[in-house]
């Protein structure tokens, strides 16, 4: 048991040292209330057809909404959306009061001014340890020319000023 805990802690440390972009994933629950959470386990899967995946913890209070909703929107966050990142990462109930949002023509809550938005229909749910992997086919997408928000070592920031081409 101790070895398992040690390995889990090392795994978390390694993953925390791996820089990623930051996303908020949203959907509507069965009562048409918006649901969302901050996610960094997001990846592109396919260009033809356009597909993405992300992972949700089985203990998440939003789990049922995402497993049963059949569709979701992934918002890649811009550097000016750090407050939204933390609001959707916490236990706060009224997360959507912290952002400007609207309902898309696909019936999904869309956070305005995100760097990019992928509206997806869920095509597969994969049971993977303590998480589910949700595989989605992109049905609509949009992009804003903004600087991305990055996650590294439990912090978020923009691209460093000395980064090439900045």
Q: What is the pLDDT of residues 65-104, one digit of tens each?
A: 999 999 999 999 999 999 999 999 988 888 999 999 999 9
pTM assigned to the model:
0.93
pLDDT in tens, the chain (166 residues): 678 889 999 988 998 888 899 999 999 999 999 999 999 899 999 999 999 999 999 999 999 999 999 999 999 999 999 999 999 998 888 899 999 999 999 999 999 999 999 999 999 999 999 999 999 999 999 999 999 999 998 899 998 888 887 6
CA 105 to chain centre: 20
The yes or no reply on domain 22-150 and CATH 3.30.70.1400 is no
Q: What are the residue boundaries of the structural domains of the chain, listed by start?
A: 22-150
The reported pLDDT for the residue numbered 1 is 65
Cβ atoms of 111 and 75 closer than 8 Å = yes
Tokens in use for 2?
Answer: 């101790």
């Amino acid at each position: 048991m101790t070895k398992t805990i040690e390995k889990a802690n090392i795994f978390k440390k390694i993953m925390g040292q791996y820089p990623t972009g930051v996303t908020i994933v949203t959907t509507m629950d069965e009562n048409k209330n918006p649901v969302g959470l901050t996610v960094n386990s997001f990846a592109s899967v396919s260009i033809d057809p356009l597909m993405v995946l992300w992972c949700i913890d089985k203990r998440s209070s939003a789990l049922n909404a995402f497993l049963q909703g059949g569709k979701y929107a992934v918002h890649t966050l811009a550097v000016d959306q750090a407050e939204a990142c933390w609001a959707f990462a916490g236990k706060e109930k009224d997360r959507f009061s912290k952002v400007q949002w609207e309902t898309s023509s696909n019936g999904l809550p869309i956070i305005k001014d995100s760097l990019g938005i992928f509206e997806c229909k869920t095509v597969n749910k994969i049971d993977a340890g303590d998480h589910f992997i949700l595989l989605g086919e992109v049905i609509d997408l949009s992009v804003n020319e903004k600087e991305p928000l990055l996650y590294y070592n439990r912090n978020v920031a923009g691209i460093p000023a000395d980064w090439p081409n900045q």
